[in-house]
Amino acid sequence: MTRSTFGPALQRGATVSVVVAIVLWCLAPFYWTVITSLKSANAIYYSPTTYLPEPIDLASWVKVVTLSRFQGALMNSAIVATCVTVVSLLLGSICAYAIARLRFPGKDIVLTIVLAVSMFPGIAIISPLYLQFRDWDLINNKLALILPGVTFTLPVCIWTLTAFFRDLPRELEEAAYVDGASRVQTFVQVIAPLAAPGVFTTAILLFIASWNEFLFARTFMSKVEQVTAPVAIAQFEGADIAAVTPWGEISAAAVATTIPLVILVLVFQRRIVAGLTSGAVKG
Amino acid sequence: MTATAPHFEAPPVRAPRRSVQALLEARFAALLVAPAMAVIALVAFYPLGHALWLSLWKINLRFANTPWVFVGLGNYVDAITDDARWLNALRVTLTITFTSLLAEFVLGMIFALVMNQSFKGRALVRASVLIPWSLTTVVSARMWQVIYHASYGVFNRILVDIGLIDAYKPWIISPVFTIWAMIGADVWKTTPFVALLLTAGMQLIPGELYEAAAIDGATAWDRFWRITFPLLRPTMLVALLFRMIDVFRMLDLPFVLTGGGPGQATETLSLYTYRVIFTDLKFGGGSALAVLTFLMILGSAFIFIRVLGAPVAGAESER
C-alpha cells in the first residue's frame, strides 16, 4: 500500500533533483563566465570571489567590443566557417547521395576512406601542410584554413547527409525517372528540395565544427589581422597589453564568440540533436 | 522504406540492359563521389604520405641550409627508446583517455537515462546539454582558467563554502591536481555528446521489452542491466570510438588551459608533437611522432571496429 503511493512520488523527486543537477552542471561554468565579464576589474581580483557582479560593470564588454583586433578575428572566423560549410556541403551532398542511393563498386572503399579521415589527428599532417602552404604562399591566406577545414568536415557532412538521404521516400525519385527525368534533373529538382532540412541541419553542425577549429588557424595564420576568433581568445592579452591578465575582457570575448553558436543551438536544438545522432546511431 | 523496393524492381529486365543500367549508375556515382575523394586525397592522404616521408629524415629548419639527413626509422626508434618526454606525453594522454572516457560514460549514461524519460522541462534539459557541446574548446579552456584560479576562482570558493576543502588550492598550476582539473573541464564539455548519442540509442529499444520485463516483476536495476545495457552496446561502442579518437589527439585544451604544465604534467602527445615541430623546428622527428599518434589511433579504432564490432559506416557493407 505505502509503496504504490510513496514510490512514484519518491521517484519523481529523484528525477527532479537529477534534472536540476544536470542543468546546473551544464550551465554553471557558462553562467560564471557571463558573471565575470560583467564584474568590475576590482571585483574580479577580489578574494574570495563574490557570486554576483555588484555593481554590474560593462567596462570589459566596452573594451572587447571596440577592440578592432577582436572584431577582425570574429569576421575572419565568420568568413572561413561560411566558406568551409558551403564547400563541404557541395562536395559532401553529392557524395552522400551516391552512397545512399546508387549502387556502385567500391562503395565500401569510399566509406573506409571517409572513416579514416575522421581519425586523422590534425597534428599528423600539420608539418607537410605547413611546408606546402609556405611554398604556395598561402600562409596568412584564408585558403590555408578553408582547404583543411573542408577536408576534415567532410566525414561528418557525408555521414549526416547519407542518413538523411536514406530516409527520403524512394517513390518520388522513381516517379521522376518514370516521367523521363535524367539523374541530374532528379537530384536537383526532386532530391535537393526534399533534403533541404537535412542539409540545413548539417550546415549548422559543419559551421560549429569549423568555427571551433584551432590548430590550423594557430599554425597557418601568423599575422594579427588574419587570426580567427579561437586563436584571438587563446592569445588574448586585452586592450592594455601591459596590464595583468584581463580576465574580465577574456570572459567578455569568450561570451561574445559563443553567443552566435548558443543562439543557433537554442533555436535549432531539435534538428541539431537529430543530425548529431543520425550519422552514428542507426535505426 | 524497406517495403518500397519490390514495387520498382519487379519488372523483369533483360540481362544486357541491366548491365548497361548498372554501368551508367556506377559512372554517375563515380562522378558524384570524385570531388570529395579528390579533396580528401589532396589535403589528407597526400600530406600523410608526405609526413611519412619527412619522418625518415633529420630536418632542422632553425638554421637555413641545414642539410636533411636520411635516418630511416631512426626517428621512430629514438622516440620509443630514448625520448622520456614523449613517453611522458604518452602516459599523460593514456591517463586522460581512460579517465575521461570512464567519467563521460558514467555521467552520460545518467544524463541519458533522465533525458529518455518524459517529464516537464525536457526541452530545457536538452537545450542546456547542448551548451557545453557547442562551446569552442578554446573558449571553455579560458572559462575554466577563471573558474579554477588559485586565489579568486569560484571553484575554490564553492569548495570552501560547502566545507570540502579548508584552504584554496592552485588547481591548474599544481603538479598533483592539474591533470584532474583538466580532465574535469574535458568531461564537462564532452559528456553532453555522449549523453545525446546514448539517448538516441535508448529510443531505438522497443518499449514492449520493458513492459514485458515489468510484468515479469523485473526491478528497474534488472531492466537496466538486462535490457538497456546489452541493447545499447552498438551505440556505446560507436560513441566510445569517436570519443577515444578525439581524446587521444587532444591538443586545444592543454594548449590553452595549462600550456602542458606545470612542467610536462599535462603535455599530451599532440601538444608535445606540435612543440617539436614548431618550437624546435624538427620537422622530421616531429612528423615521426605525429605518425606514431595516428598509428595508435588507427590501431585502437581497428580493435573497436573489428574485434568489438562497433557498427561504423565503412566497417560493414550495406545495411
Asked if the model's pLDDT at residue B17 lies above 80, the reply is: no
Q: Does B77 touch chain A (CB under 8 A)?
A: no
Q: B128, A236: Cβ pair inside 8 Å?
A: no
Q: Does A102 touch chain B (CB under 8 A)?
A: yes
Q: B124, A273: Cβ pair inside 8 Å?
A: no
Q: Does A27 touch chain B (CB under 8 A)?
A: yes
Asked if the model's pLDDT at residue A283 lies above 50, the reply is: no
- The 10 Å CB-count burial string (b at 16+, else e) for B167-189 is ebbbbbbeeebbbebbbbbbbbb
Q: A112, B314: Cβ pair inside 8 Å?
A: yes
Q: Does B4 touch chain A (CB under 8 A)?
A: yes
Nearest to B188 among A29, A132, A214 (CB): A29
Q: A208, B278: Cβ pair inside 8 Å?
A: no
The reported pLDDT for the residue numbered B109 is 93
Burial grade of B84 (CB within 10 A; 0-12, 13-18, 19 or more) = exposed
Higher pLDDT, B62 or B234: B234
Contact residues on chain B for A125, CB-CB shorter than 8 A: 44, 47-48, 50-51, 290
Nearest to B278 among A117, A219, A272 (CB): A219
C-alpha distances (whole Å) from B117 to each of B123, B203, B267, B280 are 12, 10, 40, 53
- A219-230 average pLDDT score: 90
**How many other CB atoms are found less than 10 A from the CB of residue B34?**
15
Most A CBs within 10 A among B46, B117, B130, B144, hence the mutation to make, goes to: B130
Q: What would the DSSP string read from start to end of A179-216? A: TT--HHHIIIIIIHHHHHHHHHHHHHHHHHHHHT--HH
Count interface pairs A-B at CB distance under 8 A. Answer: 311
- B17-38 average pLDDT score: 87
A74-106 residue pLDDT tens: 999 999 999 999 999 999 999 999 999 888 998
Contact residues on chain A for B22, CB-CB shorter than 8 A: 103
Please report, rounded to a whole number, the percentage of residues in chain A having pLDDT higher than 70.
Answer: 93
- A234-253 average pLDDT score: 76
Nearest to A125 among B33, B51, B201 (CB): B51
The reported pLDDT for the residue numbered A238 is 59
Share in percent of chain A as helix, strand, coil (round to 5): 75, 0, 25
Terminal-to-terminal C-alpha distance of chain A: 41
- A247-257 average pLDDT score: 89
Higher pLDDT, B34 or B204: B34
- The 10 Å CB-count burial string (b at 16+, else e) for A53-69 is beeebeebbebbeebee
Q: Does B290 touch chain A (CB under 8 A)?
A: yes
Nearest to B290 among A124, A233, A257 (CB): A124
Q: Does B73 touch chain A (CB under 8 A)?
A: no
Nearest CA-CA distance, residue B176 and chain A, Å: 23
Q: B143, A219: Cβ pair inside 8 Å?
A: no
C-alpha B57: how far from its chain's center? 30
Return the C-alpha cell found at B185.
Answer: 573541464
Class of domain A65-278: mainly alpha
Helix/strand/coil for B70: strand
Strands B57-58 and B69-70: antiparallel
Q: A233, B297: Cβ pair inside 8 Å?
A: no
Question: What are phi and psi for residue B282, nearest 5 degrees?
Answer: -95, 90
Nearest to B270 among A95, A114, A123 (CB): A123
The reported pLDDT for the residue numbered B4 is 37
Return the C-alpha cell found at A154.
Answer: 567532410
Interface of A with B in 57-86 (CB under 8 A): none
Helix/strand/coil for A226: helix
The reported pLDDT for the residue numbered A279 is 62
Say if CB B265 and CB B92 are below 8 A apart: yes
A56-79 residue pLDDT tens: 888 888 888 888 888 999 999 999
Asked if the model's pLDDT at residue B262 lies above 70, the reply is: yes
Look-up of cell digits 556541403: A89
Q: Does B143 touch chain A (CB under 8 A)?
A: yes
Return the C-alpha cell found at A78.
Answer: 565568420
Please report, rounded to a whole number, the percentage of residues in chain B having pLDDT higher than 90.
Answer: 40
Asked if the model's pLDDT at residue B223 lies above 80, the reply is: yes
A99-128 residue pLDDT tens: 998 889 989 899 999 999 988 888 989 999
The reported pLDDT for the residue numbered B293 is 93
Looking at the DSSP bridge assignments, the partners of residue B70 are: B57
Which H or E element spans position A249?
helix A247-267
pLDDT band at B101 (very low <50, low <70, confident <90, very high): very high
pLDDT band at B42 (very low <50, low <70, confident <90, very high): very high
Please report, rounded to a whole number, the percentage of residues in chain A having pLDDT higher than 90.
Answer: 33
Return the C-alpha cell found at B15.
Answer: 540481362
Q: Does B40 touch chain A (CB under 8 A)?
A: yes
Which H or E element spans position B132?
helix B122-134
C-alpha distances (whole Å) from B82 to each of A5, B86, B142 are 68, 9, 35
- A28-45 average pLDDT score: 85
pLDDT band at A242 (very low <50, low <70, confident <90, very high): low
Nearest CA in chain B to A49: B152
**Mean pLDDT, chain A, whole residue set:** 85
The reported pLDDT for the residue numbered A145 is 94
The reported pLDDT for the residue numbered B188 is 95
Q: What are the extents of the domains in chain A? A: 17-57, 65-278
**Mean pLDDT, chain B, whole residue set:** 85
* Cα gap A173→A112, rounded to integer Å: 27
B208-222 residue pLDDT tens: 888 888 888 888 888
Look-up of cell digits 587570426: A227
Q: Does A20 touch chain B (CB under 8 A)?
A: no
Return the C-alpha cell found at A226.
Answer: 588574419
ipTM of this complex: 0.86
- A40-53 average pLDDT score: 77
A135-194 residue pLDDT tens: 999 999 999 999 999 999 999 999 989 988 888 888 887 888 788 888 788 888 888 888
Q: What are the extents of the domains in chain B? A: 69-307
Interface of A with B in 121-180 (CB under 8 A): 121-132, 147-148, 150-152, 154, 158-159, 162, 166-167, 169-171, 174
Class of domain B69-307: mainly alpha
CB contact set of A168 (below 8 Å; sequence gap of 6+): A191, A194, A195
